[in-house]
Structure 1
Amino acid sequence: MDLIAALPVGELAWLVAGLLVGGIVTGILSGLFGVGGGAVIVPVLAELFDHVGASDEVQMHLAIGTSLAIIIPTSLRSFAAQRARGAVDMAALRLWILPVAAGAAVGAAIAAVASSDALKAVFALFAFSMSANMLFGRDHWRLADDLPRPAATAMWGFLIAVLSALIGIGGGALGALFLTLHNRPIHTALGTSSGLGVLVAIPGAIGYAVAGLPHLQELPPLSVGYVSLLGLALMAPVSVLAAPLGVRLAHGLSKRRLRIAFGCFLALVATRFIVDLLT
């Protein structure tokens, strides 16, 4: 039976509303922080797939693969808006094209053989770490006055992409952190990291779609491998429309209170996944 069609109308309406709100938040975060919004998308989609009866073994794979697919148009829109404002370090981004694409493919390959619980644990660790950075990090912290040598910068891009593909984010949060720690202005770091999201999301989403093909009988309807067309159709258009709003906020407002709110959200998400793993 079609799991989605079997849901009560009222429950389905709440799920659709939740996805639309999640799409708005995703787009704003993408433009504001240079992130693809995966930290919001993954937990929202995990709850969705739990409600529609997807097995525990594929819930996180579906959430992560779908998140990467949603991040593609969101990051493209955010990158275009940031580049129009001259806030993208194209030299740094060019160094990352090949290693980031390779890292995203490797991350998707690792996820294909990892358990859903393992992916939850990795996501929870990431969420706790980024929550601490949002709550206690400072923009003036530096590791060096410039980027490392090209080979080292490329390797860091590869590692960021592997982790990003494992947890369903565009890599923008990690990329922006790397750039600011190496003396790039915050707005340039955010703009450049939006381009990183494009480089991670495209090969990552393709990898999850291919990895899920042998498991089609375990997946909900309207899925292409580990990518849900339902989640993509509901969240992607809204997030694309909301991304420029986040860009305007990033260039016109103090982000401290929003960083605190986002940090608290990440801590709650991480706690939710840890509780789920322990019960």
Structure 2
Amino acid sequence: MTATLDRPTAAATGSVVGAWRAVWLRVEGRWTWYRRHWTASLLASGLQPVLFLAAMGIGFGSQVRPGPLTDGVPYLAYVAPTILVSGLITVGVTEAGLPVLSGFKWKQDYWAVASSPVSSGQLFGAELVWIALRLTFGAAVYLVVAAVAGGWTSAGALLVPPIAILAGVACAAPVMAFAATTKGDGHVFAAVNRFVVMPMTLFAGTFFPVERLPLPVRPLAWISPLWHGNELVRGAALGGLRWWPALGHLAVLVALLVVGIALGRRAFQRRLVV
């Protein structure tokens, strides 16, 4: 086989170790690098949602009076759960974009891993698990900071981090699949953030109710994974979460995750197995 920049001369040997063992070997490698360079990625690791909380919940929120649009609670408590969801989705999509493409195109470490006893599917799973761990770290930091700032009003706030992590991973999985099929220089991921993630953050119920949007554009908010996550965490944190709608929102996020995993494993295999 002739080597190219995007496809080194490496052939996968197949999996000869247990699936979870293979996944954790890759995660261990990620952790070895991260614990030495965590300050370089501190913003993406946990500070981004905290900064949004300070700006919107504390800064802008000090000018908003509690009322019907905030469910009768202070604006800080109204946006604290949803800012975490939008922040983790942003971080998840970012980590699933250029860094994954780099593993194929520039760093090319995916080719080395695929030539080891770790299969392409296990590699995909390991990268997704690592993103989930990064999001978990960010959620833990945010949970404590928001509690100190007074953003939580009930014990239901403990349900906010796992829901937000699910939403972030569910959005990261299909982006990883897309990154595995990308052949260019990755400029498309800037477009994804600008035209998909940012509009979701602004218009999917993070800062104000979707009902305040014009009726013709509301369906665009309803089909976004962020809206489903926002409905879950706000209901959990503020109370009033109804089971049947909650199960529907949860089903959408789980379905997105399952489809993203299926597409991602297939895309990784097609690109790595030679």
Same fold (TM over 0.5): no
Q: TM-score, normalised by structure 2?
A: 0.34
Q: TM-score, normalised by structure 1?
A: 0.34
Which structure has more RCO (C-alpha within 8 Å, separation ≥ 6)? 1
Q: Which structure has the larger Rg over C-alpha atoms?
A: 2
